[in-house]
Amino acid sequence: MAGDKKATPAILGRGPGKPIKINQEWVVIAISVILFVVFSLGLDKFLSEGNIIALLKNVSILGTLAVGMGFVVVGRGIDLTMVAVMVVGVAFSIWISSWGIDFTLAALIGAGLAALLGLFTGIMIAFAEIPPIFATLAIASSIYGSGRIVFASDVLYAPNNVQWLKWIGSGTVFGLPASVIIFGVVAAAMGIFLRKTRFGRLVYATGDNPSAARNMGLPTRPLIVTQYVISALIAFTAGLIMTGLVTGINTRLYNSSLIYDVLLVVVLGGIGLSGGQGGVRNVIVGTILVGILTNGMTILNFSYTSQNLIKSIILLIALAIDAIINPRDEQTSQSGDI
């Protein structure tokens, strides 16, 4: 009997062999599969090609943002400025293009602004050592506030004659919408970056134990700054997807629950907020679950409020199952766990 008890953690993936790892990612995949099957059987046309593409298209912005957020969270940070950078960066591009500057150039300038904002956030966190949650919360508010003063209206419409923006909105590659392709490219690039490059591995090291990483001589501060610059640029990309899709951007989006939805996707997918674990695969898993849920509930004509309620309950269930299967103890918990 005692032997059985010792064997259990090995089966669950805690041993060195790691045969099957039942972790949160698998719980979420299981829930997604169950929902997918239930919706496919219960809802007419859920399984149609058009609906699956619509489902993916509807989460492309969320997923793109979540890739950036996941990247920061892996390094034990959090970037609550993403939505603010997204709306203000793109709104800034549209605003300067209204002076007669070509929109392509304006978009590049906007991207530059987003990178600068990310640089500033990164410096505040890495060098001023403000905890990321407070630094980004405050900076997000300042970015949005400044935008609010500069742009007269919440809603800014992009010029109507920009071909590449039209392509983002309605173009397709092999039948897949451009917005989904962009999400895929951003996710793939980030996946390779995290897994295959030295920089990526250093992000994991810093996220797992920042003090140890620094003592080892890793350049943790420049690493952190770079992460926030990249997440800001990803946020700007998500903003361009949105502008392409709906012809303009509403800066009021900053006040919506979008940033929490992004966090939901990241946490749901299984990237722990304590850093050092998970990757792009987790983000995709989380994004797809939210996509299936939202799509099914929209077809079922659930109200917005009940949709949010159900989304939160599913998140809670996923976290609870994970906590039961993988209980935290002195050995598994990390310093800095939230």
Partner 1 sequence: MTILKTLAAAGLAVATLFSATSLATAQETDQVGRQVYLDAVKGKKVIFIPISQGFDLNQAWVAVWQRHAARYGFSIEVRDPNGDTNAGIRAMQGAIAEKPDLIIVQNPDVQTYARLLKQAQQSGIKVMQVNMQSATQTDSYVGNDWIEMGKLEMTELAKSCTGPKAPSHKVVWLAGVQTGAANIYMRTGIDEVLKQYPELQLVSDQPADYSSEKARQITETVLQQHPDLCGIMGIWDNAEVGAGAAVAAAGKQDQVTIVTNGAGSDTGCQSIKNGLLDVIYNFNAPIQGEIAAQQISELLQHPERKAGSEKTIFFGPVTRVDKTNASGRNCWKLDELK
Pattern 218-257, partner 1, x by CB under 8 A: ------------------------x--xxxx-xxxx-xx-
Cβ–Cβ under 8 Å, residues 227 and 210: no
Residue 213's φ and ψ, nearest 5 degrees, are -60, -40
Question: Which window, 57-65, 128-136, 224-232, 259-267, contacts partner 1 (CB under 8 A)?
Answer: 57-65
Q: Is residue 44 near partner 1 by the rule CB under 8 A?
A: yes
> Of 183 and 204, which has the nearer Cβ to partner 1?
183
Q: Is residue 157 near partner 1 by the rule CB under 8 A?
A: yes
Assign 198 to helix, strand or coil.
helix
Task: Determine the residue type at 107.
Answer: A
> Of 148 and 221, which has the nearer Cβ to partner 1?
148
**How far apart are alpha carbons 271 and 255 in whole angstroms?**
25
End-to-end CA distance of the chain: 35
Q: Is residue 142 near partner 1 by the rule CB under 8 A?
A: no
Neighbour tally for 9: CB within 10 Å: 13
Cβ–Cβ under 8 Å, residues 51 and 108: no
- Smallest gap from residue 170 Cβ to partner 1 (A): 5
Q: Is residue 57 near partner 1 by the rule CB under 8 A?
A: yes
> Of 226 and 295, which has the nearer Cβ to partner 1?
295
Contacts of 184 (CB under 8 A, 6+ apart): 176
156 pairs with which residues across the strands? 249
Assign 161 to helix, strand or coil.
coil
- Smallest gap from residue 247 Cβ to partner 1 (A): 6
The residue within the footprint of partner 1, chosen from 12, 29, 54, 123 (CB under 8 A), is: 54
Q: Is residue 108 near partner 1 by the rule CB under 8 A?
A: no
Contacts of 116 (CB under 8 A, 6+ apart): none
Pattern 272-301, partner 1, x by CB under 8 A: ----------------------xx--xx-x
172 pairs with which residues across the strands? 177
Task: Note the residues at the interface with partner 1 (CB under 8 A).
Answer: 44-45, 48, 50-51, 54-55, 57-58, 61, 148, 152-155, 157, 160, 169-170, 177, 242, 245-248, 250-253, 255-256, 294-295, 298-299, 301-305
